[in-house]
């Protein structure tokens, strides 16, 4: 099945220039708000110069906005119905104190960049430049100019949908529009304390433990949540990824919540040489304001240090998304390969495209959009939807690892619930009260 079409609007190379006769700016940097209707405002800091010859421009990306095809169609329809072009707005703030301009800073001016959304529908593989170069900064007293590079790039993604909650061992479908096909199955289980089947460098086999969903309510109170695991299989039944809770989720002393100082954690595992090998680590906790905090680290094969890809929070009431999107530096134009069929995979080494070596740590670079996954709010039914950038998938195991990460993130919402609340029966062992 082909990947789903997405478009990425990239705003980069921002810099502010003042004419030589102008009064020197109060600071060498200014703050910007970058706005697009329907999206969260993004903020950045940009350099300022007196003359163009002093300008040192780079290719740094300052903001990105991502559209699925359906979102793009909606924007086109709305702009057409209103008779107004959809525009990107860049506001520039400054004051005599330099930094901290958003808190009472003066609006120096703004720039509007109209977006011809119709041209995005046939963007092709190379992308299009929307605006490039110096433009005047609008404002009653502003004589400054802003350098910018705004472009639209194709950003195809594989989209996966759980057909049930992770703790109920659901199927996972690949989705493209109205087309759906099964590609993975998930098996949720409880790993006993003596079971090391899902540990690093251990035997690549199924956990020899009982599985959910349980109907028995016979429980012994134990104030910890531990031993959860979820194994992802391809359609041939081969395990292709797993998430294993390796650090129990326990309440901090004197409270009923998991704290940041003592988070629970998962290992995300991939098969290799008939063993499970660690690929990533997910930590989760409950913030003092009630939000779910999380941190995800990649563990390069053979490396001693993990690399943090994301460290953020999600609303426990409304839920949200875990997102890994690396925007600093030069984001490459993604070149979608022709067609991939996850269902044809048969375990380790399944061909997923034509990027040699992209599955090895020597060649796999995490740049641009990596993945996102929905996370349901506390106590709400959740069926994660996972998006993975095409450039980060070269085999079935690549996709399965992100699916396992999505499942672990969703389960962490339950694992971090207040210990004064009882979990649903699917998350409680027969011999334990996992609160």
DSSP string, 299-355: --TT-SS-EEEEEEEEBTTTBEEEEEEE-SSPPPPP---S---GGG--STT----S-
Q: Rounded to an integer, what distance in angstroms lies between the CA atom of residue 171 and that of residue 218?
A: 29
> Are 265 and 291 members of one domain?
yes
Compute the average pLDDT of residues 81-109: 71
**Domain boundary residue among 103, 135, 155?**
155
**Domain boundary residue among 137, 155, 173?**
155
Q: What average pLDDT does the chain have?
A: 79
Q: How confident is the model at residue 433 (pLDDT cuts 50, 70, 90)?
A: very low
> Is residue 319 domain-resident?
yes
CATH number of the domain that residue 138 is part of: 2.60.40.150
pLDDT at 48: 87
> Are 22 and 167 members of one domain?
no
Q: How many residues are listed for the chain in this entry?
A: 435
> Are 67 and 151 members of one domain?
yes
Q: Domain containing 378: what range?
A: 163-192+225-330+365-428
Q: How confident is the model at residue 423 (pLDDT cuts 50, 70, 90)?
A: confident
Q: Rounded to an integer, what distance in angstroms lies between the CA atom of residue 135 and that of residue 137?
A: 6
pLDDT at 207: 42
Q: Rounded to an integer, what distance in angstroms lies between the CA atom of residue 282 and that of residue 243?
A: 9
Phi and psi at residue 199, in whole multiples of 5°?
-95, 160
pLDDT at 192: 64
Q: pLDDT: is 35 or 123 the higher one?
A: 35
> Is residue 113 domain-resident?
yes
> Are 247 and 144 members of one domain?
no
> Are 100 and 13 members of one domain?
yes
The CB-side HSE value for 63 (13 A sphere, CA atoms) comes to 23
How far from 18 is each of 34, 55, 58, CA to CA, in Å? 20, 10, 18
pLDDT at 121: 63
> Are 239 and 381 members of one domain?
yes
- Residue 199 pLDDT > 90, yes or no? no
Q: Rounded to an integer, what distance in angstroms lies between the CA atom of residue 181 and that of residue 368?
A: 27
> Is residue 209 domain-resident?
no
**What DSSP string describes 339-357?**
---GGG--STT----S-TT
Q: pLDDT: is 382 or 57 the higher one?
A: 382
Name beta bridge partners: 15.
147
Compute the average pLDDT of residues 404-412: 97
- Residue 75 pLDDT > 50, yes or no? yes
> Is residue 104 domain-resident?
yes
pLDDT at 281: 96
pLDDT at 204: 56
CA dihedral 130, 135, 138, 142 (to 10 degrees): 160
- Residue 338 pLDDT > 60, yes or no? no
Q: Poorest-confidence range of 144-148, 192-196, 212-216, 327-331?
A: 212-216
3-state secondary structure of 386: strand
Compute the average pLDDT of residues 75-86: 76
What tokens were used for 332? 């490459």
Contact 298, 309 (CB under 8 A): yes
> Are 167 and 259 members of one domain?
yes
**Domain boundary residue among 155, 175, 203?**
155
Compute the average pLDDT of residues 417-429: 83
pLDDT at 307: 86
Phi and psi at residue 167, in whole multiples of 5°?
-70, -10
Compute the average pLDDT of residues 167-181: 94
Using one digit for the tens of pLDDT, what is the confidence trace for 283-329? 999 998 989 999 999 988 766 678 889 999 999 999 999 999 887 53
> Are 187 and 107 members of one domain?
no
Q: pLDDT: is 336 or 155 the higher one?
A: 155
Q: pLDDT: is 97 or 435 the higher one?
A: 435
Q: pLDDT: is 381 or 145 the higher one?
A: 145
Q: Rounded to an integer, what distance in angstroms lies between the CA atom of residue 63 and that of residue 68?
A: 17
> Are 92 and 236 members of one domain?
no
> Total domain count for the chain?
2
Q: Which residues contact 191 (CB under 8 A, 6 or more apart)?
A: 197, 198, 207, 209, 227, 228, 229, 244, 245
Please provide the distance, in angstroms rounded to a whole number, between the alpha carbons at the two ends of the chain: 42
> Is residue 132 domain-resident?
yes
Using one digit for the tens of pLDDT, what is the confidence trace for 120-161? 666 767 788 899 999 999 765 567 899 999 998 889 999 999
Q: How confident is the model at residue 245 (pLDDT cuts 50, 70, 90)?
A: very high
> Is residue 353 domain-resident?
no
Compute the average pLDDT of residues 396-404: 96
> Is residue 342 domain-resident?
no
> Are 267 and 229 members of one domain?
yes
Q: pLDDT: is 365 or 372 the higher one?
A: 372
Residue 391: how many CB atoms within 10 A of its CB? 25
Percentages helix, strand, coil for the chain (3-state, rounded to 5) are: 10, 40, 45
- Residue 69 pLDDT > 70, yes or no? yes
- Hunting for tokens 């086999």 — which residue is that? 205
> Are 242 and 308 members of one domain?
yes
Q: pLDDT: is 26 or 363 the higher one?
A: 26
Q: Where are the beta strands (DSSP E) in 178-227?
A: 179-190, 202-203
> Is residue 355 domain-resident?
no
How far from 46 is each of 31, 32, 58, 143, 330, CA to CA, in Å? 6, 7, 11, 17, 16
- Residue 213 pLDDT > 80, yes or no? no
pLDDT > 90: percent of the chain = 46
- Residue 194 pLDDT > 50, yes or no? no
Q: Poorest-confidence range of 75-84, 299-308, 323-332, 380-389?
A: 323-332
Q: Rounded to an integer, what distance in angstroms lies between the CA atom of residue 209 and that of residue 220?
A: 18
> Are 80 and 147 members of one domain?
yes
Q: Rounded to an integer, what distance in angstroms lies between the CA atom of residue 398 and that of residue 340?
A: 13
3-state secondary structure of 81: helix
Q: What's the whole-model pTM score?
A: 0.79
Q: Which of the 8 DSSP states describes residue 260? A: T
- Residue 198 pLDDT > 70, yes or no? no
């Amino acid at each position: 099945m082909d990947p789903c079409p997405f478009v990425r609007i990239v705003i980069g190379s921002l810099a502010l220039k003042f004419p030589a006769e102008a009064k020197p700016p109060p600071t060498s940097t200014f703050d910007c708000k970058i706005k697009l209707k329907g999206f969260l405002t993004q903020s950045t800091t940009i350099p300022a110069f007196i003359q163009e010859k002093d300008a040192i421009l780079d290719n740094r990306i300052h903001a990105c906005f991502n559209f699925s095809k359906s979102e793009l169609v909606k924007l086109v329809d709305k702009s057409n119905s209103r008779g107004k072009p959809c525009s990107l707005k860049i506001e520039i703030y400054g004051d005599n104190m330099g930094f901290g301009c958003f808190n009472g800073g003066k609006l120096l001016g703004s720039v509007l960049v109209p977006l011809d959304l119709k041209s995005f529908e046939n963007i092709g593989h190379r992308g299009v430049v929307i605006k490039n170069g110096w433009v005047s900064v609008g404002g009653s007293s502003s004589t400054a100019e802003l350098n910018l590079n705004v472009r639209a790039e194709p950003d195809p993604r594989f989209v996966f949908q759980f057909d049930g909650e992770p703790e109920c061992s659901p199927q996972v479908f690949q989705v493209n529009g109205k087309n759906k096909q099964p590609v993975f199955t998930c098996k949720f289980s409880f790993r006993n304390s003596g079971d090391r089947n899902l540990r690093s460098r251990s035997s690549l086999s199924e956990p020899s433990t009982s599985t959910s969903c349980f109907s028995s309510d016979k429980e012994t109170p134990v104030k910890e949540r531990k031993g959860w695991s979820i194994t992802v299989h391809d359609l041939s039944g081969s395990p292709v990824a797993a998430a294993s809770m390796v650090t129990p989720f326990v309440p901090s002393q004197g409270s009923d919540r998991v704290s940041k100082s003592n988070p629970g954690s998962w290992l995300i595992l991939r098969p290799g040489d008939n063993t499970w090998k660690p690929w990533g680590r997910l930590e989760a906790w409950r913030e003092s304001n009630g939000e779910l905090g999380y941190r995800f680290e990649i563990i390069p094969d053979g490396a001693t240090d993990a690399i943090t890809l994301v460290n953020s929070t999600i609303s426990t009431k409304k839920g949200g998304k875990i997102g890994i999107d690396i925007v600093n530096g030069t984001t490459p134009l993604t070149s979608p390969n022709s067609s991939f069929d996850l269902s044809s995979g048969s375990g380790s080494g399944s061909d997923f495209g034509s990027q040699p070596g992209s599955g090895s740590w020597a060649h796999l670079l995490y740049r641009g959009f990596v993945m996102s996954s929905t996370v349901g709010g506390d106590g709400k039914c959740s069926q994660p939807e996972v998006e993975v950038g095409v450039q980060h998938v070269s085999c079935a195991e690549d996709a399965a690892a992100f699916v396992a990460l999505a499942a672990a993130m969703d389960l962490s919402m339950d694992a971090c619930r207040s210990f004064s609340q009882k979990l649903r029966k699917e998350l409680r062992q027969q011999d334990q009260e996992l609160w």
